[in-house]
Structures are given as structure tokens and as C-alpha cells.
Amino acid sequence: MTRTVSLISRVSTDAVAPADRVGFWEDHNRRALVGLTCSPYSERGLLATQTNVRFGELRLADIEGNEHVIERTPAACRALPKDSVFASLVLAGEAVFYHGQGCLTLRAGDLALYDTRRSYLFGFAAPMRQLLVDVPREVFTTRCLPEGVARPRRFGSDTPRTAALLDTLRALLTRVAQQRTGDAAGSDDAVLDLIRALATDGAAPAPLVVAKDFVERNLPDPGLTPGRIAAAAGMSVRHLGRLFAAEGDSPARYLQRRRLERARRELADPAARHRTIADIAHRWGFASHAHFTRVFQTEFGHPPSEIRPT
């Protein structure tokens, strides 16, 4: 079935009585994100909004607020367990992140990676915004780091490589946050690739991550070529080919495989049963129905008609 972006919830404390805002915010986060306590530091009380969406296997929380501190205490970890890794990208404001092994200072553009099973305190001394990715532990250990996150880590634009990865991640998460509903277009896979690249320092070269993200965003375009992909990633076609070759692949094979995978998901989706095979093939960049059927049979071992819902 096609993976989608779906809106889960959107809340704001603006219309809540000032005396009730903290309780409202804590209750919402307990249900939608993670159990925590909140302390505002503004004379106006806590003014905050949060939009939660699901995309593929991941969740994204777009959070804005004024000066406040949130804390996940040891007691909350025991009483309200949460088995995820959070990747928090700060878009506005500065923050301090206290944990059992020290303190991180984060500026706009920095990313914090941390384990929700362990206590922490996240403080913002000025108006803030963050995009927080909730990665289930099983997904994180399978797709990013088998050992998980031993201690919280900060990633900033300290090198051209991390700056490029963070820029791509910010653009991708902003697009998901703005989209709220619709086709996920491989966004969850791209986010996991970027987090893995940051956390492992070399598992996925930054230009290759950028190239794959460009592919995901342009799969329906029949004019998408290795040349255009290479140009978007800032490299030559030959260098792009070498990067894919290191993974036992090629740009053309990767592009065709991703198109086939997306077409296969849509073909199996009951919501798309009214679309013809030719329509779906065209939607994912295949100019010919016959060519699509032939490469689909080669890739999956059966014709596209076999997976259509009855």
C-alpha cells in the first residue's frame, strides 16, 4: 500500500486559559509525543503550537513556542515509557540540552539526537521552533545505528559535509511539515538515510544522499536523467556513477527501481483501483505501458495485473 503523509493532530495553547496551558500542553504531549513536564518563562505564560504528522514509519512534530523548558524526568521515563530515538532540528532560537552525561548547546540549524528512554531537559531562552522526528527504536537500529544512541549528540554545520546533510534534512522535513497529507514519496527513507549519514560519519556520502533525495522528489518526471540528477547534486555524471557503483548500483537502475517500487505500491492500493495500469505507469515516469509491463515483470517476477486489488 502507498505510504502517505497524514495529519495526526494540531493544537495550540493560544485559546487556553493561561492557568491551564501547562497542564493542557503536558497532557497533549503525553498522548501525542512523549511524557514530560513543562515550565514557561514568559510573563504571558506558555504560548505554543504543535502539529504532528505521520509519514511512512516515522512521525514529525513541528513545534513553536515562547520561552520555556521541558523535562523528561527519570520518574517520567519509568511511568510513561517511550522506546524511540528523537532527532530534533532547531530552526529558530537557541537551546540547552542537559542529560546525565553533560550538556549540549544548540543554535538554529543544529540537530540533537537522543534516546527517549533516558532523562533529559530541553530549555529555550527565546522564541523557538523545532522539527522533531520520532523514530521507533526498532526502525532506528535497523536503518541507522545498530547500537542505538549511547549518549545525546549534537550535529551542526561545522564541516561542509554536515552542513550539506543538515540543509537537505531541513528542506525535506519542512516539505513534509507543510504537506501534512498526501503521498510520502519516500520521505521517510530519505530522512533515515540522512540521519544515518550524520550519525555514522561516512556511511552515505552527502552528495549521494542529495542525489537520492532529488530522485524521490522528481520520480514522476519522465525527463529525469542521470545528467539532471548529477547536476542537482553538484557533481559530474561520471562521479555520480562511481558513488552508485560503490553500492553495487547505477543511477539509471536506481531510478527505474524506485519508480517501479512506487508504481507497485499504488497498484496494490485499494484507493487507486479506479486508475488503469497505463495511468499509474505514466504517473511514475514510464512513457510506454508495454515497457512498464516488461520491466515490472523482470523486477518482481509477475505482471502488474497480479497485484491489483479485487
DSSP per-residue letters across 8-65 = EEEEESTTS-GGGHHHHHHHHHHHHT---EEEE-STT---EEEEEEEETTEEEEEEEE
How confident is the model over 244-285, as pLDDT tens digits? 998 889 999 999 999 999 899 899 988 888 999 999 999 999
**155: which residues sit within 8 A by CB, 6+ positions away?**
110, 111, 112, 113, 162, 165, 166, 198
In order along its 310 residues, the chain shows pLDDT tens digits of: 446 789 999 999 999 999 999 999 999 999 999 999 999 999 999 999 999 999 988 999 999 999 999 999 999 999 999 999 999 999 999 999 999 889 999 999 999 999 999 999 999 999 999 999 999 999 999 888 888 898 999 999 888 888 989 999 999 999 999 987 777 667 888 899 899 989 887 555 567 777 887 888 888 999 999 999 998 888 899 999 998 998 889 999 999 999 999 899 899 988 888 999 999 999 999 989 999 999 999 999 999 999 998 7
Q: What is the number of other CB atoms lying within 10 angstroms of the CB of residue 145?
A: 17
pLDDT at 1: 40
CB-neighbour burial class of residue 228 (10 A; exposed 0-12, middle 13-18, buried 19+): middle
DSSP per-residue letters across 132-149 = EEEEEHHHHHHHT-TT--
pLDDT at 40: 96
Q: Enumerate the β-bridge partners of residue 303.
A: none
Going by the DSSP 8-state scheme, the letter that residue 307 receives in this structure is G
Consecutive H or E run containing 244: helix 237-245
Q: Considering only the top CATH level, what class is 222-307? A: mainly alpha
Query: Would you list the domain boundaries of the chain?
Result: 4-156, 222-307
Number of residues written out for the chain = 310
How confident is the model over 176-210, as pLDDT tens digits? 999 877 776 678 888 998 999 898 875 555 677 77
Q: Considering only the top CATH level, what class is 4-156? A: mainly beta
* Cα 228 to Cα 232: distance, rounded to the nearest angstrom: 6
Topology alike, domains 4-156 and 222-307: no
pLDDT at 299: 93
Straight-line distance from the first to the last Cα atom of the chain, in angstroms, rounded to the nearest whole number? 14
pLDDT at 206: 61
